């Protein structure tokens, strides 16, 4: 059992203590749940930015470059890398920190990877809790890197204030099917690797896609960057700030926070039900019965709930 000193040390920005608090939150230990409840009720709020996009587009490099811009204005910043196989540099994971050349050893930058648990619910299960804990621990800026547009990315998009979708030249040829999904979640588009051929075509492609999409009060800007040199990264930081202003002045921020609250609440209810129903002990018998059509999955779920 952890002590209250641990939370105090984490609030004083002790890196190891923050890591231990997050591990307790992630594993949903009794101490972790209590700590999370206290942190949530502290009322401290962060600005959060999700960075997603195609594999290898340069998301980690861009996040690293963006951190440099953010640190001009922020005292404490956290990065959550949802898939640890998505390396910041070479995938070296040191305890709960990912090696990140540019910011290694910088006390102001805390980096956490969240394992893809696979199973039911997958990554989205612990990510919102980790982000909420970091928020309560006083991180003013939180950056979250994910890959693609699976269910979890869409859920993470509802978790963050601003979602940045990163592609690189030539992306559109490979992932036709992803386009609609990207448009749905993007507040800002980035065409990274603008030092490569095909950047103009990629920008034009995105712009026409946005044109054809539904009208909204905020049209996602398309920004060109070269993450490896930092070129265009200040433009991206300006666009993130412009999007924040838009959220604040239109009141959209409150709508987003309500959607986030609703999403997290219903996920928490599903998790709480999962915790109280010992699915595993029911599973073998019931799954056999479902497979043989002796009971339907929905009645089987009711039965498992009633038996708890």
We find the least distance from the C-beta atom of residue 191 to ligand GTP, in angstroms, to be: 10
Q: Enter the tokens of residue 269.
A: 């209810």
Segment contacting ligand GTP (CB under 6 A): 206-214, 221-229, 258-266, 297-305? 221-229
Interacting positions 224-253 with ligand GTP (CB under 6 A): 226-228
Q: How far apart are CA 296 and CA 279, in angstroms?
A: 16
* CB 111, min distance to ligand GTP, A: 13
Is 136 one of the binding residues for ligand GTP (CB under 6 A)?
no
In degrees and rounded to multiples of 5, residue 132 shows phi and psi of -65, -40
Residue 144 CB, nearest approach to ligand GTP (Å):
13
If contact means CB under 5 to 8 A according to the sort of partner, which of Mg ion, ligand GTP, none does residue 228 touch? ligand GTP
* Residue 287 Cα distances to 38, 152, 236, 290, 293, angstroms: 40, 26, 50, 5, 10
The CB-of-86 to Mg ion minimum distance in angstroms stands at: 4
What residues from 142 to 201 belong to the interface with ligand GTP (CB under 6 A)?
A: 147, 192-193, 195-196
Residue 147 interacts with which of Mg ion, ligand GTP, none, CB < 5 to 8 Å by class:
ligand GTP
Alpha-carbon span 147 to 149, nearest angstrom = 7
Query: Is residue 60 a contact residue for Mg ion (CB under 5 A)?
Result: yes
Minimum CB separation of residue 210 from ligand GTP in Å reads 22
Angle between helices 127-136 and 15-26 (to 10 degrees): 140
One DSSP character per residue, 98-166 reads E--GGGTT-TTEEEEE-----TTTGGGGTHHHHHHHHHHTT-SEEEEE--SSSHHHHHHHHHSSEEEEE
Place of tokens 């394992």: 115
Q: Under the rule (CB under 6 A), what is the footprint of ligand GTP?
A: 55-61, 86, 147, 192-193, 195-196, 226-228
């Amino acid at each position: 059992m952890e002590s209250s000193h641990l939370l105090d040390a984490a609030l004083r920005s002790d890196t190891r203590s923050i890591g231990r608090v997050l591990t307790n939150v992630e594993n949903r230990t009794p101490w972790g749940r209590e700590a999370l409840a206290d942190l949530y009720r502290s009322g401290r709020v962060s600005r959060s930015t999700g960075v997603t996009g195609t594999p290898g587009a340069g998301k980690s490099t861009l996040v690293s470059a963006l951190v440099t811009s953010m640190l001009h204005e922020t005292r404490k910043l956290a990065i959550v890398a949802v898939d640890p196989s998505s390396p910041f540099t070479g995938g070296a994971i040191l305890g709960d920190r990912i090696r990140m050349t540019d910011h290694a050893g910088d006390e102001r930058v805390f980096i956490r990877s969240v394992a893809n648990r696979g199973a039911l619910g997958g990554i989205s299960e612990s990510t919102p809790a980790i982000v909420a804990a970091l928020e309560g621990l006083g991180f003013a800026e939180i950056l979250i890197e994910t890959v693609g547009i699976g269910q979890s990315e869409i859920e993470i998009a509802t978790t963050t204030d601003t979602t940045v979708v990163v592609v690189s030249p030539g992306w559109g040829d490979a992932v036709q099917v992803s386009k609609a999904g990207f448009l749905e979640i993007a507040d800002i588009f980035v065409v990274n690797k603008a030092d490569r051929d095909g950047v103009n075509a990629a920008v034009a492609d995105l712009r026409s896609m946005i044109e054809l999409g539904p009208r909204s009060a905020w049209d996602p800007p398309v920004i060109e960057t070269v993450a490896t040199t930092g070129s265009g990264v200040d433009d991206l930081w300006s666009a993130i700030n412009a999007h924040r202003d838009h959220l604040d002045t239109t009141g959209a921020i409150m709508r987003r926070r309500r959607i986030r609250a609703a999403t997290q609440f219903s996920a928490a209810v599903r998790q709480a039900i999962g915790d109280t129903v010992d699915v595993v002990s029911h599973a073998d018998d019931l799954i056999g019965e479902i497979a043989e059509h002796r009971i339907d999955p929905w009645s089987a779920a009711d039965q498992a709930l009633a038996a708890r």
